[in-house]
Amino acid sequence: MSRDVVFVVDPLDGLDPALDTSIGLMHAVQERGARVWATGALQLEAVDGRARCVATPLWLAPSVPVQGCRWSVPDPWYRAGTPTRLWLDEADAVFVRTEPPLDEEFVTATLVLDLVDPARTALVNAPAGLRACSEHLLPLQVPDLGPATVVSADPATVRAFVAEHRVVVAKPVDGFAGRGVLRLDRHDPNLASLVEVVTAAGSRAVVLQPYLREVSAGNKRVFVLDGEPVGAVARYPLGGDFRIGNPTAEAPLTDRDREICARLAPTLRRHGIHLAGLDVIGRHLIEVNVTSVGGLRKADALLGWTLCADVVDLALNGAFLARTTPALERRPA
């Protein structure tokens, strides 16, 4: 009996098949003889209390790792079949992989996905967990694990934080992949203008943290499966850019890394966050990536790992299924 795995992703033509973790996960599904289906947030539907989608079956062309963290892929990298309506509670797993921001479209999609029984279909990650676990704000629940952090839309608060810490990193609350991240220096003559930009003149909250000099020794991405660290890679600032680039080497898992994971594990498990990527600089937890967690396909190419396959195996083997069904009225099997 064929198994079905649905990927809720952004438009396929916008994905980079040489790097994108969603595509690495799709390859692992196909290699295990299961069918790959792709759908999008706006293709999800709720019908009489059940979630369904318009999904397209995909057949992926073979790919092989090449130099660095990239994969060699043909063009086109997939063949698409006829779009079909699928009941999501009949799929073996649903991977929720759309990128932030967590806007109305994203939230609506997760509310539809809430109708899928997590005791029957593996949800990676749980939609309610994606709403509850802000990537930039979740670390505030364990403040001693991270650097000094302020979240505010008030330009005066931003300026005071910069004055105190001299050099500060400012990030949009719902940002990702370094987009919209600014470095604020108290001696920069453009500081007042940058504060206006980053807070949208006081109408948008921003996350503020001191610029950590330890980043010169690398930003570590720790991959976490069901609360347990399974590996880490080192990433460094790009030339001419203070933001972080692609992984370049394996990074050791330190006692501090394991402490961070152990402290976060109960929260991640409670919210159904089966796959997470923790960003750590020195001893400091910076972010907890839970939406469309990236870097796995890059690490697999760079280091010969099998992270994408490991995640898919756990999803298909029932490891990610909820142990109890939520208190919702479910359609009979």
Q: Are strands 4-8 and 35-39 parallel, antiparallel or unpaired?
A: parallel
- pLDDT single digits (tens) 205-214: 999 999 998 8
Q: What percent of the chain has pLDDT over 70?
A: 95
Contact 257, 280 (CB under 8 A): yes
pLDDT(21) > 80: yes
Task: Name the band, by pLDDT with cuts 50, 70 and 90, for residue 330.
Answer: very low
- The structure's pTM equals 0.93
The CATH code belonging to domain 148-211 is: 3.30.1490.20
| Domain boundaries along the sequence of the chain | 4-128, 148-211, 214-289
Please report which residue ranges of 81-233 form alpha helices under DSSP H. Answer: 104-113, 127-132, 155-165, 191-198
pLDDT(324) > 90: no
- pLDDT single digits (tens) 230-250: 999 999 887 766 777 899 999
Task: Name the band, by pLDDT with cuts 50, 70 and 90, for residue 40.
Answer: very high
- pLDDT single digits (tens) 214-223: 888 889 999 9
Classify the C-alpha dihedral 226-139-177-99 as positive or negative. Answer: positive
pLDDT(97) > 90: yes
Buried b or exposed e, range 85-108, using 16+ CB within 10 angstroms: ebebbebbbbbbbbbbebeeebee
Contact 209, 169 (CB under 8 A): yes
pLDDT(326) > 50: no
Amino acid in the structure at residue 248: T
180 SS3 class: coil
Residue with tokens 């980043």: 215
- pLDDT single digits (tens) 262-295: 999 999 999 999 999 999 999 999 999 999 999 9
- pLDDT single digits (tens) 59-74: 999 999 998 999 999 9
Task: Name the band, by pLDDT with cuts 50, 70 and 90, for residue 177.
Answer: low
The pLDDT value recorded for residue 329 is: 35
Contacts of 147 (CB under 8 A, 6+ apart): 209, 210, 212, 284, 286
What is the length of the chain? 333
Average pLDDT over residues 25-29: 98
Class of domain 214-289: alpha beta
Average pLDDT over residues 179-185: 88
Average pLDDT over residues 29-33: 98
- Mean pLDDT estimate for the chain: 93
Tokens matching residue 313: 């195996």
The pLDDT value recorded for residue 245 is: 80
- pLDDT single digits (tens) 116-170: 999 999 999 999 999 999 999 999 999 999 999 999 999 999 999 999 999 999 9
Nearest to 294, CA basis, from 5, 2, 10? 10
Q: Regarding the domain delimited by 4-128, which CATH topology (the fold level of the hierarchy) does it fall under?
A: Rossmann fold (3.40.50)
Asked whether the domain spanning 214-289 has the same topology as the one spanning 4-128, the reply is no
